[in-house]
């Protein structure tokens, strides 16, 4: 059974760097055809795709946030880490990580999400 769990600070100050961790169980992040992405959802608003990392370490980012995001994976811990620089109150949202596999690459399994508030 594959599960994902997000973790990170609940409160971040504007201009700081946010670091989020997704811990994956039940599948190795090195397994061919496996990938993990990050998606966020501001309160009462729609989902927004942020970033994705493939099993071979290839990475893709949302064009609108690419200059602020970095996605990496730690295969020893089976975790995916997302960093977002220069956060703003507009970045307040629930952040989800989700699993996808080839050939479809759609998000078939999601973590429960973690609410991040950006406020001074």
Footprint of other proteins (CB under 8 A): 37, 39, 46-49, 52, 60-63, 96, 100, 102-113
CB closer to other proteins out of 8 and 16: 8
- Tokens encoding 98: 């989700």
> What DSSP designation does 79 have?
E
Residue 71 CB, nearest approach to other proteins (Å): 11
From CA 67, how far away is CA 35, in angstroms rounded?
21
Residue 120 CB, nearest approach to other proteins (Å): 27
Residue 114 CB, nearest approach to other proteins (Å): 11
State how far the alpha carbon of 62 is from the alpha carbons of 13, 21, 58, 69, in Å: 23, 18, 14, 9
């Amino acid at each position: 059974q594959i599960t994902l769990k997000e973790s990170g600070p609940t409160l971040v100050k504007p201009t700081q760097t946010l670091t989020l961790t997704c811990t994956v169980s039940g599948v190795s992040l090195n397994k061919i055809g496996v990938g993990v992405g990050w998606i966020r959802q501001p309160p009462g608003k729609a989902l927004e795709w942020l970033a994705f990392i493939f099993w071979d370490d290839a990475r893709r980012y949302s064009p609108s946030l690419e200059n602020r995001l970095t996605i990496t994976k730690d295969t020893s811990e089976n975790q995916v880490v997302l960093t977002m620089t220069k956060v703003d109150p507009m970045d307040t949202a629930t952040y989800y990580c989700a699993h996808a596999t080839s050939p479809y690459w759609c998000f078939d399994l999601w973590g429960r999400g973690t609410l991040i508030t950006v406020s001074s």
